Structure formats: structure tokens, C-alpha cells
Chain A
């Protein structure tokens, strides 16, 4: 955990905003199924919901790590107290679940946005994702590297889209995804320089905020 003491709790708030933005995108993606053919709206819903869920799981995990409880027990009249996580045996699987959900959601989004037709590779890809998530449980750097790569791919697709139609909404969305990519790179380097963790979380928050602004503008435009 690279989070500096003074920042503990703030990152949970930032993650919560990210989770809510992704939830909003997911719900609205499903809502447009009446005007979009095929299963794409359902798949976009799944991708956003998985990523949103992963942030919620991470918040749950971080709160348990940041705010441990004091437990005590009595042996032969002597009182022993110790600091404990609320769900200490669950920290590792919860961390694994959080990373797997995030990478799976992001991978589905990448798969949908790049309009990859090779659906027969999907089961193998999910298996590889499981292996990758297992690996990233030991090496956080690989997790952020993968996330940065997938976010960058999504951003590249949106940049091509922006060149075609040049709407303000697409430009803002592109900026949001570029910022999210930068945030993952900063998280990656925070593994080596702890001081980068807080800026990375803030940059990620800014990315989600931009996407939220874009969504509000889209809804308000006449």
C-alpha cells in the first residue's frame, strides 16, 4: 500500500466518485438498448458495472486497512489488546477480486470499443486475465501497466472518433480517458516513489470528473 497517511480516506472518496460515474455510464448504456441494435448496450453495461464494482470493493478493502479496530482478549486475568483489520482473512481475496473485476471490465470495454470480431478468443482471454490478475496480486506494477495500456487503447479509439466527427462531447470524453491513462502511469510509478500516490489519485479523480461533466453536458444539450 503506497498511500501516505495524510491521504488515507481521501482516496476512498475519490474512488467512490469514480465508481458512481462508472455506474451512471453503465445504467445509461442499458437504457439506450431501445435505440441500439444487438447486445452492445448490455455489454457496455456489464463493462462499466464491473469497473464500478471493483472500485467499491477497493473502497471496502481500503477502509478495513486504514481504520483497523482494537480487539482485546483475556487470558488468566490478563487483558491483551491488538490492532486488527475488521475482516483480516479476507484482505487478499478482496484485493484479488477488486483487481480482477477492474481488468475484466476494462478489457470488455476495450474489446467493445475497438470492435474486435474475434469473439472465439474471449474465453481464452478471460483465462489469461485470471492468470494476469493472480500475477498482479504480487506485482502491483503489472496491474497498473495493464490498466494504463487498456485505457490508452480506449483513448486511441476515441481520438480516431474525434477526428471523424469533432463534437465537443467526444473531445471531453477523449480528454477524460487520456487523463485516466496518465493516472495509471502515475500509480505505476508510485510503487517506486510513494509521493506520487496522492497526485495519481487526484489525476484519476479529475479524469472521472471530466467524464461526469461530459455526461451532464450530453444530457443538457438541446
Chain B
């Protein structure tokens, strides 16, 4: 199987969160984005720092939420992905 590019992993993380109405539990994200615990944390630190994802806590449970900046980012990335698939790049 082909190794995913960094950008593809970021896309998969944000898309997984968006697919769960913009909020997801870390364990669910690991399964949805097909990531190890270590890798997920590495990527999340970066995404939180860039304000694409926010870490929240409700009823003693941790959640990951996509920010407005994250939504804009994923929209642009989806557009690019569609173009890439359509043209065959």
C-alpha cells in the first residue's frame, strides 16, 4: 500500500472530524483517519497550533473540534482533490 503524504493525512484528519458534524473523540479519530496514537498526537499538536483544530472538554470527555479556519482549509483541499481526480493528475 502507498504511504500517505503529510497533506493527505491532514486532509483525512480534518475530513473525519467534519464528517462527525465537526466534533469527534480522539479514539474515533484514530480509527477514522487510520492513525496510531503517537502519529495522531503529532499531527494534532501541529493542527491545534495552526488553529485548524481545537481541543475541548465536555462532561469529563475530551473532544476535537474543527475551527472555522479548519473548515475553510478543508473546503479548499476538497476542491483541489476534486480537480486532481477529475483531470487525472
Is A40 an interface position by the 8 A CB rule?
yes
CB B80 to nearest CB in A, in angstroms, measures 4
Q: Is A113 on the interface with B (CB-CB < 8 A)?
A: yes
User: Per DSSP, are chain B's interface residues mostly helix, strand or loop, or mixed?
Assistant: helix
- Determine the chain A residues whose CB is within 8 A of the CB of B83 once the complex forms: 28-29, 32, 215, 218
Give bound CA distance, A108 to B4, whole Å.
Answer: 26
Beta-carbon contacts of B74-89 to A below 8 Å, as 1s and 0s? Answer: 0101011111111111
Do residues A158 and B88 form an inter-chain contact, with CB atoms below 8 A? yes
Say which residue of B7, B75, B86, B87 sits within 8 Å of A35 (CB atoms): B7
The answer to whether A37 touches B5 (Cβ under 8 A) is: yes
Looking at the complex, which of A99-107, A167-175, A180-188 is the stretch in contact with chain B? A167-175
Interchain CB contact (< 8 A) of B86 among A36, A37, A40, A218: A218
Nearest CB of A to B34, in Å:
17
**Count the A residues whose beta carbon is within 8 Å of the partner chain — how many?**
28
**B84 x A221 contact (CB < 8 A):** no
Q: Chain A nearest CB: distance from B85 CB in Å?
A: 7
Residue in chain A with minimal CB distance to B77: A35
Q: Say yes or no: is A157 at the interface (Cβ < 8 Å to chain B).
A: yes
Q: Does A31 touch B at the CB level, under 8 Å?
A: yes
CA distance A158 to B87 in the complex (A): 8
Chain B residues in 8 Å Cβ range of A81:
none
Give the chain A neighbours of B7 by CB distance below 8 A: 34-35
Overall SS of chain A's interface: helix
List the B side residues contacting A158 at CB < 8 Å.
88
Interface code A35-74, partner B: CB below 8 Å = 1, 0 otherwise?
A: 1110011001000000000000000000000000000000
- In the complex, the answer to whether A29 meets B87 with C-beta atoms within 8 Å is yes
Q: How far is the CB of A40 from chain B (nearest CB, A)?
A: 5
Query: Residues of B contacting A11 with CB < 8 Å?
Result: none
In the complex, A159 Cα to B80 Cα: how many Å?
A: 21
Q: Are B88 and A29 in contact (CB under 8 A)?
A: no
Please tell me if the beta carbons of A32 and B85 are within 8 angstroms of each other in the complex. no
Closest Cβ neighbor of B5 among chain A residues: A37
Known: A35-B7, A40-B89, A222-B75. 19 other contacts (CB 8 A): A28-B83, A29-B83, A32-B80, A32-B84, A34-B7, A35-B11, A35-B77, A35-B81, A36-B84, A44-B87, A161-B88, A165-B85, A167-B85, A169-B86, A173-B87, A218-B79, A218-B83, A218-B86, A219-B79
